[in-house]
Amino acid sequence: MQIHVVQSGENLWRIAQTYHTKIPNIVQANQIADANQLVVGQALVIPIWGSFYWVKPGDTWWAIGQRFGIPYTTIAQMNRINPETPLPIGLRLFIPPIPKRRAEINAYIEPRGATVNPTLINDARASGPYLTYLAPFSYEARRDGSLEPMPLQGIPEVAAETGASLMMVVTNLEGGQFSGELGRDILQSRAVQDLLLDNILAEVRRVGRYTDVHFDFEFLPGDQREAYNNFLRRAAARLRKEGLLISSALAPKTRADQPGQWYEAHDYRAHGEIVDFVVLMTYEWGYSGGPPMPVSPIGPVEKVLQYALTEMPASKIMMGQNLYGYDWTLPYVAGGAYARAVSPQRAIELARQYGVAIQYDNQAQAPHFDYVDEQGKSHKVWFEDARSIQAKFDLVKRLGLRGVSYWKLGLAFPQNWLLVGENFDVVKR
């Protein structure tokens, strides 16, 4: 795959000629709604074998080889150039496909209401080939140890069709919010925990495709830290006897004693010892109720990952990644209207609709743009594109992490899945 950023005056014909491919291939890969209206700054994935690189000032053969993880002599040979020859700026080099590495990929899927929306099922079917786990969100634990049922219509069948296994997500949600008091009631009663685990195992047997039980207990009081650890120890012992994996979701911490109810009860070191893997929720720096900013800026994301690596092996860490952005109405007022969640595809449509160019923040590794709507209101949009996702994949590979976990399906982002296939040999269980 090649990532190409649309420049002023470019059209699909010119881009296709540059990469020796065909316009329909580019349109299909990027699900371009109007082939005659590209957005300046839009990142396109070009489906070709290998990629091209244009020599920049300061480049050397060795540096280019390091950049792509390929011996520079191989690159020189592929381009029929003597590697002793100086590299002129602007020279186009063909880069052979980069070797893939094995990784696990998870995506949460959140049905709303009593039935599963067919559009959501179609999205799961399209992304399923790139997934190790498909994670229905969520079974809600109750104070008496019961589980609130959730709609699954079509989800196990899609998992079977695409070779994905199911991840059973169990939460302390109550009334649509994470409840610390609900969590406390469960964690303070051994009898309730035993009944909860009985009900979890009964559901695993009923559905038949769960391979992992995933605990996402959030907003727990800080004094429940060790109680949560002990519950996970008991859960791990029972679940592994049934041949199941156990995993947990962790808030994005950068130190062990990070204050705040979202963080204090999440013990990175203990979870790293107890469970088979963790999902780090490395997103929501920019969130619907906060000021406009990138949802998952790469610097803060890496800080969380680097801290996690001091507490657990890389093979147990899945980096969380958002499949969405936000559209803020300006000026931002604390406590005012929430930002609207938008898919990457919808973000591009907004930029096209309002005739604005997409900018890219190289420090945050995130695209953004501004526009003014029909009512004269100003907006700021931060979202994800092929460049921001590739930057995260490069980070996952550099740190040797287990893989990536997405929140959540149902938001169109076709380039992401093409890049998953380009970068990773996805593990299937």
The residues annotated as belonging to the active site are: 218
Q: Where are the alpha helices (DSSP H) in 69-215?
A: 72-78, 118-127, 155-162, 180-187, 190-207
Bridge-based pairing of strands 139-141 and 165-171 is parallel
Q: Which residues contact 144 (CB under 8 A, 6 or more apart)?
A: 192, 195
Give the phi and the psi of residue 193 in degrees, each rounded to 5.
-60, -45
DSSP of 173-206: EETTEE-HHHHHHHHT-HHHHHHHHHHHHHHHHH
* CA dihedral sign, ordered 331, 342, 6, 352: negative
In Å, how far are 16, 29, 133, 134, 363 from 22, measured between CA atoms? Answer: 5, 11, 34, 33, 33
Q: Which amino acid is present at 278? A: V
Query: Cis bond leading into 408, ω under 30°?
Result: yes
